[in-house]
Amino acid sequence: MTPVTLALALAGLLAGGCSTFNRDWRHHADAAHDELAGLWQGSWQSDANGHHGGLRCIISPMQDSRLETRYRATYMGILRFEYSLPVDVEGSAGAYSFTGQADLGALAGGVYTYSGGVTGTSFRANYQCERDHGTFRMQRR
């Protein structure tokens, strides 16, 4: 096993080892939701390098017009990465737009900015950081 492969495998284990995401996902499956809050599932795609994978998201209300978006992404079918991102939301009646920013650390690419929207049961967002940019596409679960 090369040092890079070993580092990626170790990072994947550490990122998913203490996670409560799956438990929270199951908990939210039976909860009542509004037009935005709840479970979303789909995929991510990097436009910079073609990498892609599965993506799940739990959206929860915070305060005012903010929501917490908790993502769990897969890469190469075995690595899993999780992070939370507060987003500012505008809109109503089934059409919403949102923006957000988060520093995921130097190893993950630094500061990411997000913008996107939800229309009905479709979620689409664009992300960008110094070394990457791409798209999230999800549907209401």
Q: What is the pLDDT of residues 107-119, one digit of tens each?
A: 888 999 999 999 9
φ, ψ (nearest 5 deg) of residue 32: -75, 145
**pLDDT tens readout for residues 29-50:** 877 677 889 999 999 999 999 9
The total number of structural domains in the chain stands at 1
Q: Which domain holds residue 62?
A: 3-140
> What is this structure's pTM?
0.82
The whole-chain average pLDDT of the chain stands at 85
The helix (H) or strand (E) run that includes residue 16 is helix 3-17
CATH assignment at residue 34: 2.40.128.120
Q: Which of 104, 62, 106 is nearest to 87 (CA)?
A: 62
Q: How far is CA 83 from the centre of its chain?
A: 7
Residues 97 and 116 sit within 8 Å (Cβ to Cβ) = yes
Shortest CA distance to 25 belongs to which of 64, 62, 70?
Answer: 70
